[in-house]
Amino acid sequence: MSSAGSAIEWFDFFIYGTAAALVFNKLFFPASDPLVGTLLAFMTFAIGFVARPLGGIIFGHFGDRVGRKPALVAALFLMGGSTALIGLLPTYDAIGVAAPLLLVVLRLLQGIAVGGQWGGAVLIATENAPRGRRGLYGSFAQLGVPAGLMLSSLVFLVTTSTLDEKQFEAWGWRVPFLCSIALIVVAIFAQFNLEETEDSRQAKQERETSGASGASRSPVVEVLRKHARNVLLAAGAVVIVGAGFYLFVTYMLAYGTTVLDMPKSTLLNAVLVGAALQIPALMAFGALSDRIGRRKVYLAGALGMGLWAYPAFVLMNTERWPLVTLALVVGQLLFAAMYGPQAAFFSELFTAEVRYSGASLGYQLGVMLGGALTPIGATWLYAKYGSFVPVAGFLAVAAAVSCACVLVLSETYQQEEEPVALADESYADDEQPLTAG
C-alpha cells in the first residue's frame, strides 16, 4: 500500500519537473527569452521543495499525535487534488500573469503534500517490518520514486511521440496531470484498508495515559529539543540525494534539449531505463544495509555520486543514445545506494513519539537544499561559464557535505528497540534512540 501510494504521489511530483524542463517555459513565461524562461520554470519547480519542510512539520505533527494513517491519507488527497488542478490551469496566453501565480500556489500545495506523504509511507513500512529487515521493508516505500519517475517519463514519452509539438503544447501536456485523479482513489482505498502501526498506537496510548507535561508539547518542538543534532545531520546527508537525483532526471533533460539539441524522446528513454533499474537496486541496497549497516551503503552512494558527475557530462556530450543512457543510469543507481537504506536509517534516528516529525523534517530540509537549488544552480552555472565543469563541481561539493554528515551520524542498524513508554526517560538530548534493525 505504501509503495502504491508513493508511486502515484511521486508521479504527480515528477511530472511537474518534466513539464518545467520541456514546456512550462513557453506556456507560462512566454515573454522571456529561452534561458530566462527556463530559469523561471525551474524556480516554480523549486518552490515545491521550499514547501516540503512545511509539509513535514504539518503532517509530522498529526502523524505523531493522531497517527501515521490519517496523516498519509490526507497528504494523498492534497497531492491528487492540486496536481489535477494544474492540468486544468489556463496558460499565460489565456489569463496573463494570473497563470504563473496560480501555478506557484498549486506547486506549493504539491510540496506540502509530498513533504507530509514521505514520512507516513516510510514509517508504515519500517514500523511494520520484521526484526532485522527494516532496510528492506523501508525500501518498499522508496520504490515510489522510480515507479513514479517511470510513469511520468512514460506518459510524457507517449504524449510527445504521438502528438506533434503544437498539439503537445496546446493540450497534450495536461494529460499526465489529469491522471493524478488516480491518487484520490488510492487515498480512499487507504482510508478503509490501511491499519495503523503498533508503534504509533503505543505512542498515542502513552501520551493519553501518562499525564506528563511533555505529552502536550508539539512533536516538532520535542524533536528539535531532544534530537536537533540528528535533524540537522540527516538534512545534510540528504543534500547529495536531492542534488544528484534532480541533476540526472531534471536538469539533464533541459541540458540535453536546450544545449545539445537532442530529441526529447532520447532523453526520456534514458531516464526510463534508469528508473526501471532503480527498482531492484533500491531493494538490494536496502537489504544490504540490514547486513553491513546503513552508513557504509549510504556513503558509497554519496561518494560515487560526487565522482560520477564529470564523466556523466562527458558521456552526455557524445549525444549517442547508449552513452547518454549509461550516464543517466549510473547516476540513478548511485542515488539508489543512498535512497534504499535511507528510510530505515532516518526512522531509527528518532523515538516513536516524534519519529514522523523528526524523519520528515530532516529529509525535507535536506532535499529542499539539494533538490530545489540544483536545476536553477546548474542552469545558471552553465550559462555563466559556458561549461559543464562548474556544474560537476557543484555536485561534488554537495557530495562532500553529505559524506561528512553521514560520518558524524551513528550507525543504527544493530540497535535494539526500547519500549515507547520509556522513551522520554531513556534518551538525553541528541542521544541516539535504540531501534530494531
- For the beta carbon of residue 386, count every other beta carbon within 10 angstroms: 10
Q: What confidence score (pLDDT) does residue 281 get?
A: 96
Q: What confidence score (pLDDT) does residue 29 get?
A: 75
One digit per residue, the tens of pLDDT, for the chain of length 437 reads: 556 656 766 777 677 777 877 777 778 877 666 666 666 777 777 787 788 889 989 998 888 888 888 888 888 889 888 889 999 999 888 888 888 888 888 988 988 988 888 888 888 888 888 888 999 999 988 888 888 878 877 887 788 788 888 888 888 889 888 887 877 777 777 666 667 777 777 777 776 666 544 444 688 888 888 889 999 999 999 999 999 988 988 788 889 988 899 988 888 888 889 989 999 999 999 999 999 999 999 999 999 999 999 999 999 999 999 999 999 999 999 999 999 999 999 989 988 888 999 999 999 899 888 887 788 888 889 989 999 999 999 999 999 999 999 999 988 777 644 433 333 333 444 444 434 33
DSSP for 225-283, please give it.
HHHHHHHHHHHHHHHHHHHHHHIIIIIHHHIIIIIS---HHHHHHHHHHHHHHHHHHHH
- For the beta carbon of residue 54, count every other beta carbon within 10 angstroms: 16
Alpha-carbon torsion 353, 148, 305, 108, what sign?
negative
Q: What confidence score (pLDDT) does residue 316 get?
A: 94
- pTM of the shown model: 0.79
Q: Are 51 and 188 in contact (CB under 8 A)?
A: no
H helical segments located in 66-180:
68-87, 92-95, 98-127, 134-142, 144-162, 165-167, 174-178
Q: What confidence score (pLDDT) does residue 125 get?
A: 85
Q: What confidence score (pLDDT) does residue 122 get?
A: 87
Q: What confidence score (pLDDT) does residue 212 get?
A: 47
Q: How far is Cα 39 from Cα 45, in angstroms, rounded to an integer?
A: 10
Q: Are 185 and 76 in contact (CB under 8 A)?
A: no
Place of cell 514547501: 51
